Amino acid sequence: MKRGNLYTEIPGELPEEWSEVLAEGHGEVRVDRLVSRGHASPPDFWYDQDTTEWVVLLQGSATLRFEEEEKPREMMPGDWIEIGPHTRHRVEATAEEEDTIWLAVHWGPDGAGSRS
């Protein structure tokens, strides 16, 4: 049996966004905790994943941009979004004054595959 707390055991220094796999299901599903501290996607970088990703923002704030949308989406605690496979997106900004904590569930052809 595994257990933990989504708000504890976060590294003090985060030179880049931090990710931890919380649960996996035989290559079909993966649950990640991500922590951002003022992080954003590199310029001109877009996530283009083979899986569906459902993500909820638990703490902090973030701005997401989707390639096919004109305006970015502001995310606040409690906001969630389901991102279909190959929906190109990026993190424009996250809160700098506090940790932005995300919970992400991936499923699809290889739900346990890497985030790319």
Q: So what's the pLDDT on residue 116?
A: 46
Average pLDDT score, the chain? 92
Provide the residue ranges of all domains of the chain, joining segments of one domain with +: 18-107
Direct distance between the N- and C-terminal alpha carbons of the chain, in angstroms, rounded to an integer: 29
For 42-89, what is each residue's pLDDT tens digit? 999 999 999 999 999 999 999 999 999 999 999 999 999 999 999 999
Distances (CA, A) of 94 to 4, 11, 17, 24, 99: 24, 17, 10, 26, 8
**pLDDT tier, 9 (very low <50, low <70, confident <90, very high otherwise):** very high
Name the percent of the chain lying above pLDDT 70: 94
CATH number given to 18-107: 2.60.120.10
